[in-house]
Each structure stands twice: as structure tokens, then as C-alpha cells.
Chains A and B, each alone.
Chain A
Amino acid sequence: MIESLDMHLQDLVQNAYSAGASRVSVLLDCDKAADRLTLEVSDNGSGMDEQTMRAVQQGFFSSKSKRSVGLGIPLLRASAEHCDGSFDIASRPGAGTTVTARFRLRHIDLPQLGNLAKTFLNILVTSSGRWVSITYRCGDQELDIDTNRLHEFLGETSFQHPEVIRFLRSYIEEHIGQEWEET
């Protein structure tokens, strides 16, 4: 079951990658003053028509006809709405998709953030030529990372080079204040 926000984020980004996006932006913002947590993933992938959007939000839908799963979106929607928040999908065929989930930050059932460092690292190292940006703001922690900037410094060096993986992991942890979970 997908419950924590780090898992939802990984799922939303996978959806964007599967939709053929070349540009993906991820936002996770905790606004204490407004008592709101916002999770947003925006892409320039294939997008959806209205009928598909309705099906996606109801669940048991997948654009891959062989499989009829796809419960990630309805679970996120239910969770956001339960937490006095809101859920929106804006999409048009050929014009990409933006998924926005808002939660009341102090709601007792607010999903756990989970291990965001793992998800952010996974997203970056599998970006594979896509332009992916991640913005994270919670309290005094802030992370702003963008694959185009990484390429400026790395040239043709792969994001999956062991030293790059190590660097990115430490960089992410330093900026979001989350320890890598050792198992």
C-alpha cells in the first residue's frame, strides 16, 4: 500500500516518466503559517483527455491496457481530502499534466513524509536526459536541485557514477535534514 508522501511522489514522477515527459517539476512545500502542505508534480508528457482523467481519479485504471491497477492517484486524492485539503489534476492531451495535492499541515492524519531523500535521489539518477527539478521547502530546510544545473558541472559524467551518487545523496540529506536510512 502506498501511504507516505515519499512513495506518492515516487509514483507521480514514475507516471510522468511513463507519459513520455522530457520536463518534470516536483514541489513539496510545508507552509506553517498557512497550515498547509502542498505536493505538486508537473510534466510536459502526453497528458490526458477528460474521460481518462475521470478514470484515473476513480482508480483501477492504467493507460497500459494489460494492467488495470493504478491506485496511486485515488489514494492520494482520498488522503488529501481527508486531511482538510484538496486535490486537482490539470491535463490536456499533448499538453502535459499537473497533479496538486494539498493537506492541512497539522491534521492528525497527515501522511508521514517518509524517506524523501531516497525518493529524491532515485528521481535524479533515473532522470535519464530529462530536465527534472525538485523544490523542497519545510521550515528552515530548503532544497532546490535541477538536472540541467547538474549537467553544467558534470558534463557527460553519468548521474549514476558512484561518486556522483554519493555526492547527491549527501547534498540532498544536508538540504532536507533527513538521515539516510541504513538497513
Chain B
Amino acid sequence: MKLEDLRKIRERASKDISLRKGDARVKVVIGMGTSGIAAGARDVMAAFLDEIDKRGLSDVTITQTGERGLASSEPVVEVHVKKEAAVVYGEMTDTRARRVVAEHIVNGNPVSDYVIEVRA
């Protein structure tokens, strides 16, 4: 594999303008402070990235943030879908993250089992 191959991806991706404009339909924020990482946030982030790849989701961005003050519920993930209330999920795992991608991000139905907060 060569990094030069990224040029081809760039050409193909030039049609997907939403990520380039920083105007993604969905923003996922993962709490990656020390306690979040200790509780499994690193693998939760990897699961989101894996699902973005497998499902070819070109309108989702993942960002990380430090401690959130919700230590008892970590790993914590916020999902912001454009024009909708932000949903905060707690005690996330690899499997739960994949379910959130399928049901919430793709199909538009928040996974109520893991919701700890909804921010209007």
C-alpha cells in the first residue's frame, strides 16, 4: 500500500461534499478522558469508525472530548443529528455503538435502552 493511493480516494470522494464543508448530517462526540478510556471508550470509537467504513457513511463525523462529568456512566457518547435533539448514551460498548449506528444514525430511531439524557 502506498499513501499516494489516497489521491484516487480523493477523486472519488470529491462528490461527497458534506464532510468537506464540515457540514455533516450527524456528529458523534465520544468522551475520551482517562476514565472514559479506562471504561472502554477507545474501542467504542473504533467501533463507530468501523461501522462508518462498512456502511459507507459519508455524512457522519466523530470527535473526541475530555472528561464529561458523567463518570458513572462512561463510556459516554453524544449523537447530534441535524435539526434534532442531541441524545447522550451511557455505558457504551462496541456492540452498543454498532446498534446506535444502525438504529439511530442510519434509521433515525434513538436506542432508548442506552439513553441517559436528551438535550433539546
- A1 touching B38 in the complex, CB below 8 Å, given contacts A126-B64, A170-B1: yes
In the complex, chain B residues whose CB is within 8 Å of the CB of A7: 37-38, 42
User: Which residues in B have some Cβ–Cβ distance to A below 8 Å?
Assistant: 1, 3-7, 9-10, 12-14, 16, 19-20, 32-35, 37-38, 42-43, 45-47, 49-50, 52-53, 55-58, 60-64, 66-67, 69, 71, 94-95
Please state if A119 and B9 are interface contacts (CB–CB under 8 Å): no
Please tell me which one of the listed residues A62, A69, A165 contacts residue B53 in the complex, with CB atoms under 8 A apart.
A165
How far does the alpha carbon of A122 sit from the alpha carbon of B7 in the complex, in Å?
21
The interface on chain A, measured as residues whose beta carbon lies within 8 A of the other chain's beta carbons, has a size of 47
Q: Would you call A150 and B95 a contact (CB within 8 A)?
A: no
Query: Given the known A-B contacts A150-B6, A162-B52, are A125 and B62 also in contact in the complex, defined by CB atoms under 8 Å?
Result: yes
Residues of chain A whose beta carbon lies under 8 Å from any beta carbon of chain B: 1-2, 6-7, 10-11, 14, 17-18, 62, 64, 66-67, 69-72, 115, 118-119, 121-122, 125-126, 128, 149-150, 153-158, 160-167, 169-171, 174, 180, 183
Q: Are B94 and A183 in contact (CB under 8 A)?
A: yes
Interface centre among B4, B42, B50, by most chain A C-beta atoms within 10 angstroms, is B42
Closest to B21 in A: A156
Hey, which chain A residues are within 8 Å of B42, CB to CB? 6-7, 10, 118-119, 122
Instruction: Jot down 18 A-B pairs with beta carbons below 8 A, ordered by A.
Output: A10-B42, A64-B67, A67-B67, A72-B34, A125-B49, A153-B3, A153-B10, A154-B10, A155-B10, A157-B6, A157-B13, A160-B19, A160-B62, A161-B13, A165-B53, A167-B1, A183-B43, A183-B47
